[in-house]
């Protein structure tokens, strides 16, 4: 049964749905599981106390296992806040007011490195945004180029030329796939009414030729010229002026921005780029709403802006709504999503849970955000203290004026001289020193401090009483390219872990900073994300202590005949069943369960550990933050492996060695356990759980074993990695044996 939370009006712009049955199942599960976990904690404490007195077994393995269980229970507990009140939403864009009453939107697209982010892909994102179904004169598209690459600028000029044909074509025929590359590579976008139209056929053919020419040109440019990011250049701002700009605008405005870069200056990665865009755009279009996009996330649903406005323009929500978040979705997901690249759980489950409280996290891309929510403006008073405002926002008078002014594309309408003057000012706003001694990145704009700038900025907005909305239209609003190999997955995972841990360890840690500023459940949601990397503690312990204990004849779990055994069984089985139910409810296949468990283990052992270590070292001043953009170049061989669901182990040995060692050691320990059981039948009672755990790890790690021993292709695990793993295994064994002896 679904319960609709009705809006007061009879023709609401949107509806919110709450599924009662899910709510009941989730809450019952939480109740019983909590009881089971409490019983297990009681079991551990009492058995440790007994051991402490009797001293008939070493204490350390028991203590370590207890630590791992506590960490997991802590994370589990925080995680349940997502299941408390999940909601979904529907929007009715056809009920929006007339076009002339819709607010303007500035689209922000970021690119950082043409070697990892091919310019043709970036241009497709730009063009798709220009083709959104929204009044053209109210749409401005900004591209931030952190590489300061002339090729990107030139490609953009070409993109404008192509867009002048493409946008009218899309509007004329109601094209649904507004990203040209996607349109010409998939044939699904055939509007029945159009198929037979001769005119359409001819126009489409012409568009296809034009696109081919455009694509060739851009690809040639990116191959021929040097495309290395320039780390030392002054600010470049180019408003791509269309002849029609001074009369009726027929095309969205297109602006290229490359902020100033100097080697000695901290640039704060993407957050820095976005803040520069915020300032530059404020002098040009200053739209009250922003659409944030990563350079690989093209617009796939032309109505996303209108869908978002259903929330932003609702008088009941409007004043407190900071952003509407669309889930990240990807065009290159494999049927076997072995790396869990689609982040299914986050976008199809967790965000719905947060939406039922105060709204989902800002997710870096695919959000329609109210500009004002980033400014935290001091109220417009009779006598604004200009000095104070400047200390906050920097020295530009023009920028400060824009803060208190509603949208007006003044720059565009005014005289040529004034236009040039304003353009000069935008360069000042995009310069390195503009932010010195201001509150940018601290209290204003996107926040710096963490490399997961979206997560960190989001906490601050929710703590300032802003709310957000999660919206998932049936046709995905945006499509990006997901990671398709282990190397990218783990590098990205390490960056995320580092960013999340930075927040967890700071004074903005959600459990300290959150509870007094937002609902407790919302701060638990944030806390779960921030502390997620600490799962490495549990996973490392669970991957080593049970097998080391098995080899040293230490029993750390209750016997099968012990009633506590049943509680362990309950927790294991029920949490997996709940996971499967959750997967099923999002429409994914049951295979997903296996993939997600495996990726959780792999990331726990590697990314979470290295990310946490990075964050701790940063805190101690031993390391600097870094942001390696995720690779978006398509490699055919790699894609093939990914589509077939075969792991590609071409990655650094720092990731592979621990994985190979732990999987092999667990496999060996499992064999030893079985031998012990075969020779002493009564032993099975005592070591069942331990043996089962080693089996489970070896089973989950099967692809690793296969990669080491059976595969011959390029994606296998190289022999030298296996050798290092052997050395590391010997180390774990000898050190571990010592450790579990006490």
Per-residue x/- track, 287-326, Mn ion (CB under 5 A): -------x--------------------------------
Partner whose footprint covers residue 599, from Mn ion, ligand UPG, none (CB < 5 to 8 Å by kind): none
Partner whose footprint covers residue 111, from Mn ion, ligand UPG, none (CB < 5 to 8 Å by kind): ligand UPG
Residue whose CB is nearest to ligand UPG in the complex, by number? 364
Q: What are phi and psi of 447, to 5 degrees?
A: -85, 145
Among candidates 20, 146, 79, which has minimal Cα distance to 521? 79
Contacts of 536 (CB under 8 A, 6+ apart): 604, 605, 608, 609, 612
Partner whose footprint covers residue 340, from ligand UPG, Mn ion, none (CB < 5 to 8 Å by kind): none
The kind and range of the H/E element at 140 are strand 139-145
Per-residue x/- track, 217-256, ligand UPG (CB under 6 A): ----------------------------------------
Number of H helices, E strands in the chain: 29, 13
Per-residue x/- track, 429-448, ligand UPG (CB under 6 A): --------------------
β-bridge partners, 440: 444
Residue pointed to by tokens 């997620």: 532
Q: Which residues of 226-288 form beta strands (DSSP E)?
A: 236-240, 253-258
Q: Is 450 a residue that touches ligand UPG (CB under 6 A)? A: no
Q: Is 630 a residue that touches Mn ion (CB under 5 A)? A: yes
- Orientation angle between helical segments 591-605 and 563-585, nearest 10 degrees: 110
294 vs 307, beta carbon nearer Mn ion: 294
93 vs 229, beta carbon nearer ligand UPG: 229
Among candidates 101, 156, 100, which has minimal Cα distance to 129? 156
Contact 700, 598 (CB under 8 A): yes
Q: Would you say 204 is a known binding-site residue?
A: no
Q: Is 627 a residue that touches ligand UPG (CB under 6 A)? A: yes
Q: Is 492 a residue that touches ligand UPG (CB under 6 A)? A: yes
In the bound complex, what is the minimum distance in angstroms from residue 492's beta carbon to ligand UPG?
Answer: 5
DSSP classification of residue 80: G
Tokens of residue 736, six digits: 């571990």
Give, as ranges, the residues between 597 and 616 that touch ligand UPG (CB under 6 A).
none
Partner whose footprint covers residue 131, from Mn ion, ligand UPG, none (CB < 5 to 8 Å by kind): none
Partner whose footprint covers residue 181, from Mn ion, ligand UPG, none (CB < 5 to 8 Å by kind): none
First to last CA, the chain: 56
57 vs 332, beta carbon nearer ligand UPG: 332
Among candidates 451, 428, 11, which has minimal Cα distance to 259? 428
d(CA 490, CA 484): 11
Task: Among 260, 294, 582, 638, indicate the residue that binds ligand UPG (CB under 6 A).
Answer: 294
Helix (H, G, I), strand (E, B) or coil at 426: helix
Please report, for residues 78, 86, 164, 487, the alpha-carbon distance to residue 81 in angstroms, rounded to integers and kept in the order given: 6, 10, 48, 32
Q: Is 521 a residue that touches ligand UPG (CB under 6 A)? A: no
Please report, for residues 158, 196, 202, 635, the alpha-carbon distance to residue 205 in angstroms, rounded to integers and kept in the order given: 19, 14, 5, 29
Contacts of 680 (CB under 8 A, 6+ apart): none
- How many residues are given for the chain? 742
In the bound complex, what is the minimum distance in angstroms from residue 394's beta carbon to ligand UPG?
Answer: 21
Partner whose footprint covers residue 273, from Mn ion, ligand UPG, none (CB < 5 to 8 Å by kind): ligand UPG
26 vs 497, beta carbon nearer ligand UPG: 497
d(CA 295, CA 143): 9
- Orientation angle between helical segments 563-585 and 20-54, nearest 10 degrees: 150
Q: Is 363 a residue that touches Mn ion (CB under 5 A)? A: no
- Orientation angle between helical segments 60-79 and 20-54, nearest 10 degrees: 160
In the bound complex, what is the minimum distance in angstroms from residue 129's beta carbon to ligand UPG?
Answer: 13
β-bridge partners, 107: 141, 291
Q: Is 364 a residue that touches ligand UPG (CB under 6 A)? A: yes
Tokens of residue 640, six digits: 């093939």
403 vs 503, beta carbon nearer ligand UPG: 503
612 vs 630, beta carbon nearer Mn ion: 630
178 vs 491, beta carbon nearer ligand UPG: 491
Q: Would you say 247 is a known binding-site residue?
A: no
359 vs 480, beta carbon nearer ligand UPG: 480
d(CA 196, CA 589): 38
Long-range contacts of 199-202 (CB under 8 A, 24+ apart): 200/173
Q: For the chain, what is the radius of gyration of the CA atoms?
A: 28
Q: Which stretch binds Mn ion (CB under 5 A): 59-67, 467-475, 626-634, 669-677?
A: 626-634
Contact 160, 240 (CB under 8 A): yes
Q: Is 169 a residue that touches ligand UPG (CB under 6 A)? A: no
Pairing outcome for strands 289-294 and 105-111: parallel
Q: Which stretch binds Mn ion (CB under 5 A): 227-235, 548-556, 622-630, 634-642?
A: 622-630
Task: Among 22, 79, 111, 281, indicate the residue that binds ligand UPG (CB under 6 A).
Answer: 111
β-bridge partners, 140: 106, 253
Task: Among 87, 290, 295, 461, indicate the residue that binds ligand UPG (CB under 6 A).
Answer: 295
Task: Among 452, 487, 534, 607, indicate the residue that binds ligand UPG (CB under 6 A).
Answer: 452
In the bound complex, what is the minimum distance in angstroms from residue 451's beta carbon to ligand UPG?
Answer: 6
114 vs 356, beta carbon nearer Mn ion: 114
Q: Is 337 a residue that touches ligand UPG (CB under 6 A)? A: no
Contacts of 170 (CB under 8 A, 6+ apart): 131, 178, 302
Contact 102, 134 (CB under 8 A): yes
Q: Is 485 a residue that touches Mn ion (CB under 5 A)? A: no
In the bound complex, what is the minimum distance in angstroms from residue 296's beta carbon to Mn ion?
Answer: 6
Total residues in contact with Mn ion, by rule CB under 5 A: 2
Partner whose footprint covers residue 364, from Mn ion, ligand UPG, none (CB < 5 to 8 Å by kind): ligand UPG
Partner whose footprint covers residue 627, from Mn ion, ligand UPG, none (CB < 5 to 8 Å by kind): ligand UPG
Q: Would you say 223 is a known binding-site residue?
A: no
Per-residue x/- track, 113-132, ligand UPG (CB under 6 A): ----x---------------
131 vs 295, beta carbon nearer ligand UPG: 295
Contact 412, 245 (CB under 8 A): yes
Task: Among 13, 72, 87, 110, indicate the residue that binds ligand UPG (CB under 6 A).
Answer: 110
Contact 499, 452 (CB under 8 A): yes
Q: Would you say 145 is a known binding-site residue?
A: no
Contact 469, 89 (CB under 8 A): yes
Q: Is 260 a residue that touches ligand UPG (CB under 6 A)? A: no
Tokens of residue 642, six digits: 């990914």
d(CA 29, CA 576): 12
Task: Name the residues annotated as catalytic.
Answer: 146, 454
Q: Is 146 a residue that touches ligand UPG (CB under 6 A)? A: yes
Residue whose CB is nearest to Mn ion in the complex, by number? 630
146 vs 355, beta carbon nearer ligand UPG: 146
Contact 235, 144 (CB under 8 A): no
Partner whose footprint covers residue 325, from Mn ion, ligand UPG, none (CB < 5 to 8 Å by kind): none
Q: Is 273 a residue that touches ligand UPG (CB under 6 A)? A: yes
Residue pointed to by tokens 């509407």: 324
Point out which residues bind ligand UPG (CB under 6 A): 110-112, 117, 144, 146, 269-270, 273, 294-295, 364-365, 451-454, 492, 495-496, 499, 627, 629-630
Annotated binding site: 117, 146, 270, 294
Residues making up the annotated binding site for UDP-alpha-D-glucose are 117, 146
Binding site, annotated residues for Mn(2+):
270, 294
Rule CB under 5 A: which residues touch Mn ion? 294, 630
């Amino acid at each position: 049964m679904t319960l609709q939370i009705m809006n007061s009006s009879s023709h609401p712009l949107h509806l919110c749905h709450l599924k009662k049955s899910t709510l009941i199942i989730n809450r019952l599960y939480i109740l019983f599981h909590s009881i089971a976990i409490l019983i297990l904690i009681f079991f551990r404490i009492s058995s440790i106390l007994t051991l402490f007195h009797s001293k008939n077994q070493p204490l350390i393995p028991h203590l370590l296992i207890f630590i791992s269980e506590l960490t997991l229970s802590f994370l589990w507990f925080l995680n349940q806040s997502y299941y408390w009140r999940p909601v979904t939403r529907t929007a009715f864009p056809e009920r929006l007011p007339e076009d002339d009453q819709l607010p303007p939107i500035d689209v922000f697209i970021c690119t950082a490195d043409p070697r990892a982010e091919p310019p043709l892909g970036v241009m497709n994102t730009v063009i798709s945004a220009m083709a959104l179904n929204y009044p053209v004169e109210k749409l401005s598209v900004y591209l931030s180029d952190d590489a300061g690459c002339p090729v990107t600028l030139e490609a953009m000029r070409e993109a404008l030329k192509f867009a002048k044909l493409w946008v009218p074509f899309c509007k004329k025929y109601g094209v649904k796939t507004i990203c040209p590359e996607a349109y010409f590579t998939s044939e699904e976008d055939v509007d029945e009414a159009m198929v037979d139209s001769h005119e359409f056929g001819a126009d489409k053919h012409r568009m296809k030729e034009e696109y081919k020419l455009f694509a060739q040109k851009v690809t040639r440019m990116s191959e021929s010229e040097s495309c290395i990011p320039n780390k030392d250049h002054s600010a470049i701002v180019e408003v791509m002026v269309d002849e029609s700009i001074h009369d009726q605008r027929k095309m969205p405005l297109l602006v290229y921005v490359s902020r100033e870069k100097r080697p000695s200056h901290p640039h704060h990665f993407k957050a820095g780029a976005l803040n520069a865009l915020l300032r530059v755009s404020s002098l040009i279009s200053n739209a009250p709403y922003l659409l944030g996009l990563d350079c690989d996330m093209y617009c796939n649903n032309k109505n996303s802006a209108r869908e978002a406005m259903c929330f932003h323009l609702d008088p009941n929500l409007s004043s407190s709504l900071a952003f509407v978040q669309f889930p990240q979705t990807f065009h290159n997901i494999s049927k076997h999503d072995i790396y869990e690249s689609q982040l299914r759980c986050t976008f199809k489950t967790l965000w719905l849970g947060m939406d039922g409280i105060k709204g989902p996290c800002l997710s870096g891309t695919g959000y329609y955000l109210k500009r004002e929510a980033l400014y935290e403006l001091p109220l417009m008073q009779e006598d604004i203290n200009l000095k104070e405002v400047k200390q906050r926002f920097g020295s530009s008078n023009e920028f400060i004026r824009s803060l208190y002014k509603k949208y007006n594309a003044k720059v565009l309408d005014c005289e040529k001289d004034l236009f040039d003057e304003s353009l000069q000012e935008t360069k000042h706003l995009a310069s390195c020193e503009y932010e010195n001694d201001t509150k940018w990145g601290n209290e204003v704009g996107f926040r710096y401090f963490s490399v997961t700038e979206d997560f960190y900025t989001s906490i601050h907005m929710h703590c300032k009483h802003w709310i957000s909305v999660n919206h998932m239209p049936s046709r995905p609003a945006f499509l990006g390219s997901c990671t398709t190999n282990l190397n990218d997955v783990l590098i990205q995972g390490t960056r995320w872990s580092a960013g999340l841990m930075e927040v967890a360890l700071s004074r903005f840690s959600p459990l300290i900073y959150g509870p007094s500023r937002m609902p407790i459940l919302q701060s638990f949601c944030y806390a779960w994300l921030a502390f997620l990397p600490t799962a490495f503690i549990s996973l490392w312990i669970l991957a080593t202590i049970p097998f080391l204990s098995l080899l040293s004849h230490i029993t750390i779990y209750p016997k099968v005949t012990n009633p506590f055994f049943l509680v362990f069984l309950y927790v294991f089985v029920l949490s997996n069943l709940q996971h499967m139910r959750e997967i099923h409810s999002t429409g994914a296949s049951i295979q997903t369960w296996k993939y997600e468990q495996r990726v959780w283990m792999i990331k726990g052992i590697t990314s979470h550990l290295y990310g946490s270590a990075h964050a701790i070292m940063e805190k101690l001043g031993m390391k600097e933050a870094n942001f390696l953009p995720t690779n978006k170049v398509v490699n055919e061989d790699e894609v093939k492996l990914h589509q077939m669901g075969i792991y590609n182990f071409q990655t650094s040995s720092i990731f592979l060695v621990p994985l190979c060692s732990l999987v092999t050691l667990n496999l060996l320990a499992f064999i030893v356990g079985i031998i012990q059981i075969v020779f002493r039948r009564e032993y099975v009672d005592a070591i069942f759980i331990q043996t089962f755990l080693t089996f489970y790890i070896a089973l989950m790690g099967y692809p690793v074993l296969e990669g080491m021993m059976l595969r011959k292709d390029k994606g296998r695990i190289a022999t030298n990695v296996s050798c290092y793993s052997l050395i590391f295994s010997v180390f774990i064994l000898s050190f571990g044996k010592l450790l579990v002896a006490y």
